[in-house]
Amino acid sequence: MKLSFDRRIFYTVLFAGLPAVLSVMVLLWIGDYAPKTQWTLLLVILSFWLGVALSVRERVVRLLQTFANLVSALREGDYSIRARGARNQDSIGELAREVNALSQTMHDQRLGELEATALLRTVMAEIDVAIFTFDGQHRLRLVNRAGSRLLGIPQERLIGSSAGELGLAEFLEGEPTRTVQRSFAGGSGRWGLRRGAFREGGLPHQLLVVSDLSRALREEEREAWQRLIRVLGHELNNSLAPIKSVAESLGSVLRRGERPLEWESDLQHGLNIIAARAESLNRFMNAYARLARLPPPRLQPVDLADWVRRAAGLETRIAVNVLAGPALSVRADGDQLEQVLINLLRNAADAALETGGAVSVSWRKNGNYLEVLVEDEGPGLPNTANLFVPFFTTKPGGSGIGLVISRQIAEAHGGSLSVENRAPLPGCQARLRLPL
């Protein structure tokens, strides 16, 4: 039978004092003492021996029970209890201080968790995005007020309902991020869906976020129309104003009774101006139509080295330094990517020819993306804010759509395009990023 800890302490103390007690008893019985004295001393010794053993057991057990109560309070979440009587240069005192420090640390962590949870609940309640959490059986476990408004059902009635009953079952399957056209009790339109997984209590759960895209899309559409009208109005005024002025001048010449000797040459010159401005306006409209008719990419394997060297070889005004990178291939539209690189190399060559600098193109792998860098040693750009504004150009005779089309092509491939100055080095750097 296994003894308990307090009994082991008691027996250990008894065994520790047993040799001394036996020695005293032997001395008493062999000494010249009266029997009454022997029995009295023996009784005192035995009582003292048992009393010390019980006292040691009591103190050890009480101390352990105290620390057990402290740990139990911590386990129950009560961090207000502290151990008292901690002294320096004392092992029990060091243990008490450590337990108190642990209690304070857990108290601070618990307070931080409560504050973070309160903040999270406040954000979820006030945010204008519908948030739902479902357990492994697709039962709703949490919903915010925006989600309740979206479904048109009070929150207390939603909890515990299945995703099928709420009409959200299809959103828990398929692509985790997508856009859908859907009608709910709280509104209809285009909705952005984002789905993620997390674990609570060791069990899998799903988080579903539904955001209304209609309002943002309408705002973007309104801003796009405003930009379009501003650009079209500017270009139309630039062409129609001189046409109107020249037409009025020619009309006044024709209405005169006596025309000047050179009126035919003035008429021809005015008609040439009208034709030139009309042709310029026609080129502008064709360029805008080209922006609107960019076809979707037709994906196929494209060898990176061949693509870069082929595009670099088409720039004949300056030698392009090709810095070879890793052997890679991407799934992309080769014709569109070639057009992008041609545009970037042409811009770099235009800048480098102004200063007699060089042009280089290189590529590298950066995580899950491919980066193609086109660098020049030109004068740099005084302002990069308007580079991707349609028809904005800093080059005489430039169309202002090359970089715009290039960025559209990059984004259609899931990538991006940026142009920035190479501080502190002279020139610019164009960075084309494409997913691998």
Overall average pLDDT of the 230-257 stretch: 69
Q: Using one digit for the tens of pLDDT, what is the confidence trace for 409-433?
A: 888 888 888 888 887 788 888 888 8
Cα 299 to Cα 333: distance, rounded to the nearest angstrom:
5
Cα 150 to Cα 73: distance, rounded to the nearest angstrom:
44
Q: What is the pLDDT of residue 34?
A: 77
Which token pair is 410? Answer: 């990059």
Q: What burial class does residue 96 get, using C-beta atoms within 10 Å of its C-beta: 0-12 exposed, 13-18 middle, 19+ buried?
A: buried
Cα 82 to Cα 67: distance, rounded to the nearest angstrom:
10
Query: Of 57, 49, 58, which is closest to residue 22 (Cα–Cα)?
Result: 49
Q: What is the pLDDT of residue 416?
A: 86
Q: What is the pLDDT of residue 88?
A: 67
Q: Using one digit for the tens of pLDDT, what is the confidence trace for 201-225?
A: 788 888 888 888 776 666 666 666 6
Residue 113, pLDDT above cutoff 80? no
Residue percentage of the chain with pLDDT more than 90: 0
Q: Using one digit for the tens of pLDDT, what is the confidence trace for 300-320?
A: 888 888 888 888 887 778 888
Cα 28 to Cα 38: distance, rounded to the nearest angstrom:
6
Backbone φ and ψ of 294, nearest 5°:
-65, 120
Q: Using one digit for the tens of pLDDT, what is the confidence trace for 270-287?
A: 777 777 777 766 766 665
Q: What is the pLDDT of residue 174?
A: 83
Q: Which DSSP helix (H) or strand (E) runs through 408? A: helix 402-412
